[in-house]
Every structure is written in C-alpha cells, then in structure tokens.
Amino acid sequence: MSYLFTSESVSEGHPDKVADQISDAILDAMLTQDPDSRVACETLVTTGLVTLAGEITTKAYVEIPDVVRETIRRIGYTSDLYRFDAESCGVVVALHSQSPDIARGVDESAGKEQGAGDQGMMFGYANRETPELMPMALAFSHRIVKELATIRKNTPELMPYLRPDAKAQVTIEYDDNHKPLRVHTIVVSTQHDEFDTDEKMLARIAEDVKKIVIPRVVPAELLDANTIYHINPTGKFVIGGPHGDSGLTGRKIIVDTYGGKGAHGGGAFSGKDPSKVDRSAAYAARHIAKNMVAAGVADEVLVQVAYAIGVAKPVSLNINTYGTAKVNLKDSEIAKIIEGLFDMRPKAIVERLGLKNPIYSPTAAYGHVGREPYTQEVELFRVEVKENNGTKEEIRRREKRQIEFFTWEKLDYVEKIKAAFNLL
C-alpha cells in the first residue's frame, strides 16, 4: 500500500531565514579578514529591529550594522511598507569574546590537536530520489520558494505583486518499495502586495503559481489531474517577514538539512565558525553519505558522527543503509571501511572541505545541503599582526582568490570509495 511523506521549505525572506542570513553574513565578514575567527552569532529580527548576540574572537574589524543592512537589502526588504527595511531598521549589537574555558579545549597547541567545539551528534544523509541525491519532497519545496525569489528579483513583471516572505510544502506518494510515484499535494503561501479584492488576489496568485512557477521546478511526469494544490490557503498574506513574525537564527534546522528524512542531531548551523562541529561535522557527514550513494554502496545512507567537547577523535561513527546496501557487508563493517577513508577530526574536516573561507552566506537560504558546488573569485582583506621591537603592528592586505563553495557536495571521493568496496 502506498504512503505519503511531506517536507517544507521557506524563502530567503522568511523571518527565521533573514536571521540566519544575517548571522552568516557576519561570519563571512570576519573570515574575509581573519580565517581563524571564532564566531557564534545569533540574530533576532522583528518589526523595525535587528538584535545580535553571541561570542566572537577575531582580529577582523567589521562594521556590523553595514553588513546587517546590506544583507537585508539583498533579500529584498527595501520598502517601509514592509515595516522592516534595510534603511530604517534599528541594529542592536551585543557581542562579546568567546569563553576561555571553551577555547582551551578547542584550540590547537603544542602537544594538543584541535578538539571539537562541543559535544553532540551530527548526521549526513543521501538517497537516489533526485539528481542532487536529496529527498524529493524537500528538493521540490526548495525549488518552489527559490523560483519565487528568482522571479521577484529578475523578472518581476511575471508576478509583480510578490513580496519576500514565502513558504512551500510538497507531499510525495511512495510505493511499498519506497519509490516515489507522484506529487500528491503542493502547498504554497507567498507574501504579496495589496489587491483590489481578496477574490481577485487568490485567483491571480493561484493561476500564476500553477502556470508559471510549478512547471519550471517540478517534473511534469510527477504531476497529474489528482495533484492537490493549496495556494495561499489562509487568504490574504500582505503582512509578513519580520513584521509578521519574529525570526531567530537556527529555527529552521529541518529545512536546512533533509526535510525530516534521515535524522538531525539538533544543532543549528548559521552564525557558527567551522570549529563548531555542529556545522563542520554535519557537512562532512553529508559529504560521506552523498559520495557513498554516488559510488553505488547503497541507495540510501545515513551517517552519524558524535564528539566530546575538546576531544579531536569522534566518539563514534555509525552508518545506516536502510537495507539498500549493494555490497555484501553489514552496516557496521561498512562503517569501519568509511572510518579508514575519511578523517573526521575537526581540523582534518576544516582542511579537507576548505571551511575557513568566507563561504557561508549562500548556505543560509534554500538548504545547506543538496546544492551545486561552484568556484568564485572572492576579495579577501587579510589581517596579520607582526611584532617589531616590542610593538605589535597590524598589517592589512587585499587579495583576490578563487574559493570553492559547497565543497561537501563534491563527488570527489567516489573513486576512492569504489576501490575500497571493490566496486570498480
């Protein structure tokens, strides 16, 4: 008998995602100058106000309010009609240095390697449902809200009433063998300008979503006459964004990862530098899972890794293939082989995936995983502190460098995995 599974996504203008993007923009601004920055930046957004709190230790100098306003401007909150806009919102900064009690367990020193920034467990997941090796319901949900933002920014004449806040939810029908059959239900709620009448509004938005947005992002063969649509089901959605609801960093961790498939360890990502294994080890676990599926070890893989604060070596690594393994090995045996291929100590993860670069702002909307890796030229402003005759001097130099983004999505370990499992 078939069954249903549902996932949701939210747009970059959703208040929680606004908070995530501000936190990661602050992190990137610090890393642009000082790659060893330690950042834990939490953001609260509400009507006309942004509040930043957390711990930062860095040699960088950043005009934090400017970074905040530029992020809000890029998202699209540029009108006072939204009651939250880049030019007029207040910015409150309450940031202080990292606790030395934490730093002493994490910092690398003579005779001691870099330890994990916290205890906890992190998960990575992959399956064969989509080309990006992600769960289908979440992948389609991401595509819908991202397309709404693309239309709003690039071709606004198609849907001229769009405002930045939006949500999408997709339900997939599966057969008994866990294979996707069809799209069962699509739910879309998008913020919009005022209309003459509610009836005119609902009709126009429903028609545009069905005729413009959905055909661009959902394969036609998965849609049929029985697919259910709920477009702006509450009716009017003029008040939205941080004015409609307050937003907080780290409140969309399921949207950020696998839409409820697999598992989640509970730690948020945005605003955290890569010494925090909440972020770096979750990326590394996705890297393992995706490469395992692409190599043909299994059709579905969940990777769990766990740490003790201040300790470099993980306390455990677990692999679950959900009975889909294509090799004649138990999951525990598969895990042993994977342990030999991937060094999961925090410093090794950071070096392998290039995580000290300013690469985090693009992750803060539309998912941290399931993205296309790319390389882009980035301007860096490096800060060096040199001592001359007992006087410390800061030297700042500008350089441009090609930097890789979403390195944990690269399929660069496929051949190594195939060789290790005799799949060549």
Annotated binding residues, written as ranges, equal 14, 16, 42, 55, 98, 165-167, 236-237, 245, 251-252, 268, 272, 276
Report how far residue 76's alpha carbon sits from residue 184's, in angstroms, rounded to the nearest whole number: 32
Binding positions for ATP: 14, 165-167, 236-237, 245, 251-252, 268, 272
Binding positions for K(+): 42
Look up residue 323 and give its amino acid.
G
Burial 32-42 (b: 16+ CB within 10 A, else e): bbbbebbbbbb
Which tokens sit at 215?
A: 């055909």
**How many residues comprise the chain?**
424
The residues facing 248 across adjacent strands are: 44
Report how far residue 270's alpha carbon sits from residue 355's, in angstroms, rounded to the nearest whole number: 13
Give the C-alpha distances (Å, rounded to integers) separating 37 from 114, 253, 357: 14, 23, 10
- Rounded to 5 degrees, what are φ and ψ at 342? -120, 120
Number of Cα atoms under 13 Å in the Cβ half of residue 158:
16
Binding positions for L-methionine: 55, 98, 245, 276
Binding positions for Mg(2+): 16
When computed from its CA atoms, the radius of gyration of the chain, rounded to whole angstroms, is 23
